[in-house]
Structure 1
């Protein structure tokens, strides 16, 4: 059951960061101008509203390294997140876990309880989560893997 994940574009990755890693005290769905101002304010790198719009819509699929560094710095992610390959996939997995912990209310006590389970217990939890995710995907008509997370 190891179907290959579809390639995520730079626009997909930028939008995912804005949707899932935007500071909790910030706007719920920030505008391109708000994103530009926040990134520029945190990094002193000049980022325009139109640059953010182009990145979010895929009209600028090959930005400068300075722009990517500014986004990586603001969102506190490794620059490798924006690449392709195993490193990018590993980083995406870690970021998804962090977002789930933050947004889903999974705290340290829950993680400690999971860590204390036997391998069989962890496997049982994995099967329950996989089954629930499959059910949700069927109900909503989403493709497996949550690739439409925006």
Structure 2
């Protein structure tokens, strides 16, 4: 199946999928800014290769299509194959995986079922006593458990 997703949509999906956990607000994910991406590319590839303003233009629906060089810079930053920005089987596979990841994260942030409220409250109260490092580790552990349960074939 060939996918004809526009460049801007593919780039915006990469920003969503690479959102990182906020260090001070457990469970909240934060997307990289255009400036953070441009600054890291400048650090890794050399200054003047791509600007935050240009990345912003590329993320707009009516934005330009970048040169192969600029697309390559973005592909390297987000650690995806350059073919992700084309139409073809590689792009289709990566798009599917990224969409699944973003949907999974959205489901994680959905409100818990009513019957789980008491257990979640107990977990939250217990977590308040932890140091920031222990809290971060606990959150990572709970997220990994959730990932494992999602992959379990006999999950109810």
TM-score by structure 2 length?
Answer: 0.56
Structure 1 equivalent of residue 150 of structure 2:
110
For the aligned residue pairs, the C-alpha RMSD in angstroms reads 3.2
Q: 1:60 to 1:85 in 2, by over 3 A?
A: same
1:50 alignment counterpart:
53
Preserved CA contact (<8 Å) 1:33 1:49? yes
In structure 2, the CA distance between the partners of 1:25 and 1:68, relative to structure 1 (3 Å rule), is: farther
Cα distance change of structure 1 residues 69 and 18 upon mapping to structure 2, 3 Å threshold: same
What SS does the corresponding residue of 2:30 show, helix, strand or coil?
Answer: coil
Whether the aligned pair in 1 keeps the contact of 2:11 and 2:59 (CA below 8 Å) is yes
Q: State the TM-score, normalized to the length of structure 1.
A: 0.57
- Residue 7 of structure 1: which of 4, 7, 15 is its match? 4
Aligned length in residues: 112
Aligned counterparts of 2:81 and 2:94: Cα–Cα separation in 1: 8
* Higher mean C-alpha deviation, range 82-91 or range 23-32: 23-32
Once the two structures are superposed, the pairs formed by residues 56-75 of structure 1 within 5 Å of their partners are: 56-57=59-60, 58-61=62-65, 63-75=66-78
Once residues 19 and 44 of structure 2 are traced to their aligned partners in structure 1, the CA distance between those partners, rounded to angstroms, is: 13
Q: Which residue of 2 aligns with 1:38?
A: 40
1:49-87 deviation line (CA, Å, top 9, x unaligned)? 2210221114221x1222111111111111111111332
Deviations for 1:7-44, whole angstroms, at most 9, x for unmatched residues? 31101111111122234458824443233113333444
Instruction: Give ranges in structure 2 of 5+ residues lacking alignment.
Output: 24-28, 109-142
| Structure 1: gaps spanning 5 or more residues | 126-150
Contact 1:43 1:74 in 2 (8 A): no
- When residues 25 and 64 of structure 1 are mapped into structure 2, their CA distance, relative to the original with a 3 A threshold, is farther
